[in-house]
A and B are shown apart, each in its own frame.
Chain A
Amino acid sequence: MTPTPSLLDVSELEPAAERVRQLLEQLDRILLGRSELHRMVLVGVLSRGHILLEGLPGVGKTALVKALGELMSLQFNRVQFTPDLMPGDILGNHILQDTDSGRREMTFQPGPIFTNILLADEINRASPKTQSAMLEAMQERCVTMLGVTRPLPDPFFVLASQNPIELEGTYPLPEAQLDRFLFKLHVGDVQAEVLEQIISSRRRGEAPKTDFQLTGEQLAELFAVMERIFLPKPVSRYIARLVAATHPGGGEATEAVNQYVSYGASPRAAIAMAEASRACALIAGRPTVGFEDVRAVAAAVLNHRMILNYKSRFDRVSTRDVIDGLLESLDETGLDLPSDMQVTATGEAS
């Protein structure tokens, strides 16, 4: 039996939580009106997960990634995915080069993937071949070419973007690749007030300069703290039940799941959800994961992992609707009381 780890000490957690808060504040300062998106992106980063950003052009996807790289002192590369983009264009190529000894030999020229943050812009425009070239990198965080495996810098994140419109000439991401993204976040429109603020305060859209920068050590500390965030068993059970409930025919599957879902989320989704919940708890300054953390990340984790059937299209039911119904119906605590019994908080104080 593994020994039960002790909780983070307050003195350990609070500085880390403070740094994360500062990072969020900076992000919110750089990109106006996207605090929730920033929080989820930060959750993804702290969970060491890849994030798929979906939104219309010009909504600030690239700016967000650039700002994140700058604030975290991480190397940042941007690749514009096009149909003619080849895997070598991303992973790198071997080129013939003269050595100091006068000999010619093939040397590896690393591609843009060898960075800390890779912005894969409009990833769905690349060919499947090119898209699949990223599979190993995203999962194993290394690149194997000509039998030689080369690790990618740590940390390594892929923040991909895709345009939900202009789908002609695009290649939808295969499920295997989608599953490798921790989150799929929707970058929506901004409020008019936010736009007004952007216009008035940003000439040519340039982000304001910031002097806050997270060092590599600090980031490593954050990752270390993340490792010690405690996941209680009831919460982990809830995550498991939630993921299991996405499968049609499951014991706790809702009517919507049974009706509209063809395939539910994979076990990787449960892992991702647990990690993301931990990150949420860290951001909240808590040493333990609560049900609210799970609920906060559940939609982002599950929405690109559930495959709906055609009936959902006819009924105009989105994945988000199904997930909301699931979260609504599933009792986190597992009390399983009859429907005509209710637990109210206005009880007697002991």
Chain B
Amino acid sequence: MKPARPQGECLQGWTLTPTLSLKGRGGTCRECLPVDQTSRMIDRFRRHVWARLGLRGAVGAVSLWLFVWGTVVLISRAAVGVERLPLAWGGVGVLVAIIGAYAVARRRVPTAANVRAMFDRQSAAGGLVMAAAETELGGWSGRVPAMRLPRVQWRGGRAWGVLAAAMLFVAISFALPQRMVTIRTDRSLDISDQANQLNEQIEVLAEQEIIDQTKADELKEKLEQVKADATADNPVKTWEALDHLKDTLSKSADRAAEQSLAQTQKLTESQALAEAMQQDQQANDPQMSDELNAAAMSHLSDLLKQMQQNSKPFEQAMSKHKLDPNALAPNESKQMRQVFTDQSLDPQTQQKIREALSKLGLNPEHVAPVDRKTLDELHEALKDQTLDKAEREALRQQLAKHEMNKSQLSPLTDEQLKQVEKALRELGLSDEQFALVPGDEAGKLTSEQQKQLHEMMKGAQTGKKFRQVYLREGLDARTVLKAHLSLAKVQMQHHQQGMLERAGTELMWQLATKTLDKAQADAEGPLFSPDQLDTAVGLMNQAAPETFEQMKQLGQVDDASVEDVSKMIGQKLPSAAEVGKALDAVDPKLLAEAIGQVAAGAGADTTAWNAHVGMVDSWAIEELWRLLADEWLPDDEMDMLETKLEPHQLPAAQLPTLNDEALRQINTAFKNIGLSEDDFALLPPPQRLTPEQMQQLAAAAGACNASKLSLRARMAKLENVKLIDAKMLEKMKKAGECDSSGLAAFLAENCNSMSMSQMLSGIPGRGGITRGRGDAAMTWKDPASEQGARFQEQMLPTDNLEALKNSDLVGVSLGAPEVTEAKAATSSSALANTTAGGGSASKQTLLPRHRAAVQQYFKRE
């Protein structure tokens, strides 16, 4: 026990010196503090403890929060793709963690009593320090030992390490690039190569206009969807989708390839035909007849028209080569020509048909296409003079179906209809044949007929409607104008005779002028082709003077208008080609008669012709006369023509100078009349094609070749992206090979013995269900592989197999084994040749010498 403190010593037993004594501290040394200061030390110690506990808790809490924060940051960035900046707000949690840690630590701070007890123990006070809090120490206060403020130590190395790791974790979670933290929930399937290839194929197909852009966009969208949905978890689905897309593209490409192949074949055919015809025409001695040429040209024209409709490259090539298939086609309407040349129709019937159609305002030449059956029906109907109403209605329907649209009929007033009917009666139509007039007779105009008439007139009044009618029905302007003008003429004639009202004349005139005006002023596009327009103007020209005169007499038009219209009409003089066309449409007999009249010096009295020739076609005769009078032909041709016309009493002075085309057409027309070439050899050799036609042939060949190249290039592009195989490209190449020389030789050889259709159907090697001609070359497929081919197996009986086991191998030879009948017949055993059930039973060969032994075995006593 420590001895009692002597006077002048501190509690530690040290001698107090002036330097050690501290004022205001009870005269004790630095080590010996008075008891009343213990409370302050306790408070201080408690603060230290709080600080340490708070720090300890804060480090732990912050570490925990940092780990949570970093995890949240990683998950947010990986799963949702949250930006870094919003996630940085998690730093506030650090502050919260620190504050929370200190708040919790405050509750864990030891009580003052506990701290005092600790001080007591530390200073070995033996309970005095503790007692001081409860009672007065009295004399013992001086014996309280000195207290030193204990130090609170926290061994927090591990906690600091965890904190550092947590901070590093948070830093990494923020610093990692987005691409590295993005979680790919699905294992994507890499189909980029296939997708790129398909994309390329789609682009090629769209570029080549095999599929339209909308379809291409749709396919691309599908492809993108497949790419997006491609997962390695279900690759089959992706591959199926890709296969489906690929199949779609392949089918489109195959279709395009087949079409291109077919077009190439047609182009080759066209090119070969065009070149063959060129070669034939350029030869010194052309072999192809006029008929054959016409047929070939017609066939070529048809082919080119088909190609024009079906092949866009060819259409482009046509414009590039200035190819016009119509220029190649003969002007005749083949069907109509065939009808009129058909011997089954007598001339009277033909005349009736012609008249009926003419009275409908239609040119028979332009009624095409009319099939043979329709014409036959029409023929029968017209032949029968006792048609009832239903039959007439059927006839009208047939006519409307093939020649006139209902809308071309406009409702006329009753008065107008009566006048029209009267006018038509003047043409010789019976009531049964054409009953238009309303009344109490059978020929009453039905409401439908009235409506049709009304529509016709309405449509004719406006260019647009007129154009619609024209476009819809495929009628050319000349046909329609002719119809109107014919009617107008009839009306004019009757007007002169006082049969028509003034309104009817005015109506007809307006129809004629307005139609032309609309045709020219139509902004939507040319109403008529130049040829058609010329024709129309020519017709107007023919009709106008009379009409004008009538109008002027009636005071319905002033001089200025007449002059304007005349000027306009005068500028549109018909060309020689149009004259030829007009001539072509003329009834041969009437034409012959007209020519006869011209030759007879009937002059230009067209009114006289009208009585015979018909109002429409008289103009053509007039034109022919005018052309002849203009002397357009060279002198030698004029002489020749004059000579040729002499039998027809044509004055030589009146022979005009005709160009080749005009002469050719005249010749054709004359031939149609029935004149032989001997009688009428006006024209240059008919087998010669015109330079324009030759030019068109060259253009056709060039366009075909260019189109073929274009198609081949197109296929090459498809082959490049593996949409079609190389075989198809090879086929294209073969299909494009053009042997024009061979065809020319073939045509030259067979042109006199075969028709064009026979020749086209009989070209060697075409194959097809007819298998071609007998001398057609056989076509072979690619040779089959012999790999895997073998003979059919043959099962041998079991006894033969057993016999083989006991046989000796003599040798192996090629070829089928030889069977010797004699060997197969020999047998020495009782059971030999006994067939076993598929070899399942045991078969014993029992020789005759063993029979006794067997009998002995089975012998019974």
Contact = CB atoms under 8 A, between A and B. Distances in A.
Interface string B151-178: 1111110010000000000000000000
Contacts of A7: 131, 135-138, 140
A235 B134 CA distance: 12
A333 B118 CA distance: 5
A contact patch SS:
loop
Given A9-B138, A333-B117, A348-B149, A286 B44 contact: no
B465 interface: no
Interface in B8-57: 30-31, 33, 37, 40-41, 44, 49, 52-53, 56
Interface string A270-314: 000000000001001111111111000000000000000000000
A233 B56 contact: no
Contacts of A146: none
Given A335-B114, A347-B151, A350-B41, A233 B126 contact: no
Interface in B441-478: none
B127 interface: yes
A6 B148 contact: no
B44 A335 contact: no
Contacts of B56: 338, 340-341
A6 B154 contact: no
Contact of A232 (B31, B118, B127): B127
Contacts of A291: 117, 120-121, 127
A121 interface: no
B130 interface: yes
A234 B33 CA distance: 22
Contacts of B155: 340-342
A70 to B, nearest CB: 27
Interface in A160-207: none
Interface in A231-249: 231-235, 238
B110 interface: yes
Contacts of A232: 117, 120, 127, 130-131, 133-134
Interface in B92-138: 108, 110, 113-118, 120-122, 124-128, 130-131, 133-138
Contacts of B1: 284-286
A1 interface: no
Contact of A332 (B40, B121, B138): B121
B148 A347 contact: yes
Contacts of B153: 341-344
Contact of B127 (A289, A341, A344): A289
Interface string A1-16: 0001111011000000
Contacts of A263: none
Contact of A335 (B118, B125, B136): B118
Contact of A233 (B108, B130, B140, B152): B130
Nearest to B38: A350
B596 to A, nearest CB: 141
A7 B140 CA distance: 8
A238 B117 CA distance: 10
Contacts of B139: 9-10
Interface in A325-350: 332-338, 340-350
B127 A286 contact: yes
B152 A340 contact: no
Contacts of B133: 232
Nearest to A349: B148
Contact of A234 (B30, B116, B137, B159): B116
B369 interface: no
28 contacts: A5-B135, A7-B136, A7-B140, A10-B4, A230-B131, A232-B130, A234-B117, A234-B130, A235-B127, A238-B117, A284-B1, A284-B126, A285-B1, A286-B127, A290-B130, A291-B121, A292-B126, A336-B110, A336-B114, A337-B152, A338-B53, A338-B56, A343-B153, A345-B122, A347-B151, A349-B31, A349-B149, A350-B41
